[in-house]
Amino acid sequence: EDQVTQSPEALRLQEGESSSLNCSYTVSGLRGLFWYRQDPGKGPEFLFTLYSAGEEKEKERLKATLTKKESFLHITAPKPEDSATYLCAVQGATNAGKSTFGDGTTLTVKP
Amino acid sequence: DVKVTQSSRYLVKRTGEKVFLECVQDMDHENMFWYRQDPGLGLRLIYFSYDVKMKEKGDIPEGYSVSREKKERFSLILESASTNQTSMYLCASRRILDTEAFFGQGTRLTVV
């Protein structure tokens, strides 16, 4: 059974204080690892897809990396508008289209 | 801009009512999903559909059914609403199963 564990559950940063969110996973045949951002009361919004170990993707202050066991979402010099819950999900080869989601990391960036 | 639209942002229904949640996508995606999201339990898959008139049970299908008569529309039906079905419901679609999902804005359902 595919599993995704995200840590920490919550992270409070000062504006400009860089940090990383972790997504540890076990999956049978990784087809893709996905990062989403979710604002309160809204649906998740897609950020990145990573397909193989060593791959990296960047968008503004966010950078996602992937190894065979975990993915990191690095946030450089965050701003208050980066405050949200960040979800990680994996798509395995054997679970017929069902992505497995982690419980998310809630990031709060204080000005 | 791709779009997944859910018919209601907020719904209040009475116990025992039959409830319909509608979802429409404009991306011509084959795959559509219904999730519910509860604090501390994360996103849980209720049903998904990989083609018109096709459906597969997710992890928590009990008390729900779905309908997909057209490619762009996927409906979630609560046959007899109960208070433990109070939740945020999220619809999503994907082109193929190793690409990203696009989510709707969510429906906050309260059953009283």
User: Any idea what DSSP says for residue B85?
Assistant: G
- Non-local (6+) Cβ contacts of B38 within 8 A are B44, B87, B88
Question: Considering only alpha carbons, which residue of chain B is nearest residue A37?
Answer: B103
The stretch B105-111 carries a mean pLDDT of 97
Residue owning tokens 């990203």: B100
Q: Which residues of B touch A (CB under 8 A)?
A: 4, 31, 40-43, 45, 48, 50, 56, 58-59, 90, 92, 97-106, 108
Is residue B106 helix, strand or coil?
A: coil
pLDDT at res. B1: 67
Kindly report, residue by residue over A36-91, the tens digit of the pLDDT.
Answer: 999 999 999 999 999 999 999 999 999 999 999 999 999 999 999 999 999 999 99
Of A44, A96, A104, the CB nearest to B103: A44
Question: Considering only alpha carbons, which residue of chain A is nearest residue B34?
Answer: A98
Kindly report, residue by residue over B60-105, the tens digit of the pLDDT.
Answer: 999 999 999 999 999 999 999 999 999 999 999 998 877 889 999 9
Question: Considering only alpha carbons, which residue of chain B is nearest residue A4?
Answer: B42
Structure token pair of residue B85: 């079905």
Amino acid A32 reads G
Evaluate whether A31 touches B97 at the Cβ level (below 8 Å).
Answer: yes
- Chain B CB contacts of A103 below 8 Å: 40-42
Q: What is the residue-averaged pLDDT of chain B?
A: 94
**Closest to A36 (Cα-Cα) out of A4, A14, A13, A12:** A4
